[in-house]
Amino acid sequence: MTHTWIIAARRSAVIPRGGAFAALDLHDLAVPVIHGALADACLDPVQVDELVLANALGAGGNPARLIALAANLPQHVAGLTIDRQCVGGLDAILLADTLIRAGHADVILAGGVESYSRRPLRLRTFADNRTPEPYDQPPFAPTPAQDPNMAEAANALARSRSISREAQDAFAIQSHASALTAQSRMVGEITPIAGIVTDPFTRRLSQKTCARATPIAGSITAANAAVAADAAAICVVVSDKFAARFTGPKARISAGATLGADPAQPGIAPIAAIRASLTTAGIKPGDLKVIEMMEAYAVQAMACIEEVGLNSARTNLGGGALSRGHPIGASGAINAVRLFHELQRSGGSGLAAIAAAGGLGTALVLGG
């Protein structure tokens, strides 16, 4: 096996937590997207060998298996749920690529699903029988210095690179503007759920609105940080054998990497993964026609774009997470879905990249 291919890619709309998807379980989000992707790929569910899904906030129990059953996939599809937090959605696609190239499967559904609205309450217990304490986020590194608050880490990144709040706000304004312009062309990638076919958080963000935004940490505000959200995204990853007889749109998986970096600086963790992936693919940053860079924070995306030398005019052509929301385990897969569809218009090679707490970065190169 030399290559794998994405032959279909679908997502739901991205809805901020507490919104229109607040009552939906994970399978309610994922199943319609799976069916939409299979229809685009002209595949019957019985042809699916495996389902690999990222989920970061659920209660465990292998949601991928539950979703496989709810989607009426064959019972032999065991389902595999992974948790690498924000990078998990891209990692699921890279894992599908590895499994297929190893000869273990021909058709894998891969992506992510997250319901921030329905995440379970968590309690930390103690050996001395103290009353359990609620917590929202688990530790991502063993010491406090290596495990910063994400917004505070983003603010430290902004200070170290002299990126002002005004510059971050301008980046966020452009993200929303690009998303508004691209709404009509996103029809082919968004599977309707509850009748919603656009990302409702997208708006005409202005400098005046940004100036009034609630501060989170220093220059980081509610306007230049992505909001927590609910969504699902699925890519149909197939072998050369399947791709050869598929006549619809497709994109070759050229390279990908997940690498750890300094956990104290999580925002720039994708840089090493991007460079490694481009080297493997044999292309330079300037060769990329489309780039989907995660926008958990405006400053994080800005720093990665600048450090790698990516073309900002080719980055996030339909906006990014700042204009949609950040459904943690699904976010990387959403970037892959966006990349797949943008490449159908531009041709050539494209890159998707994302960071995660703990100093993780994942990159995926399609085409070329």
Active-site amino acid positions? 86, 326
CA dihedral 26, 91, 175, 283 (to 10 degrees): -160
Cβ atoms of 179 and 201 within 8 Å: the answer is no
Record the tokens describing residue 340, joined without a space: 């797949």
Question: Which segments of the chain are extended strands (E)?
Answer: 4-11, 15-16, 50-54, 80-82, 107-115, 122-124, 133-135, 215-217, 220-221, 229-239, 251-260, 288-293, 349-356, 360-366
d(CA 233, CA 67): 13
What does residue 206 show for φ and ψ, rounded to 5 degrees? -125, 165
**Per-residue DSSP letters for 317-342?**
BTB-GGGT-B-GGGHHHHHHHHHHHH
What whole-number distance in Å separates Cα of residue 237 and Cα of residue 106?
A: 8
Which residue from 359, 322, 293, 321 is spatially nearest to 150, judged by alpha carbons? 359
From the list 353, 247, 255, 227, the residue with the least C-alpha distance to 3 is 255
**H helices of 61-187, where?**
63-70, 88-101, 150-160, 165-182
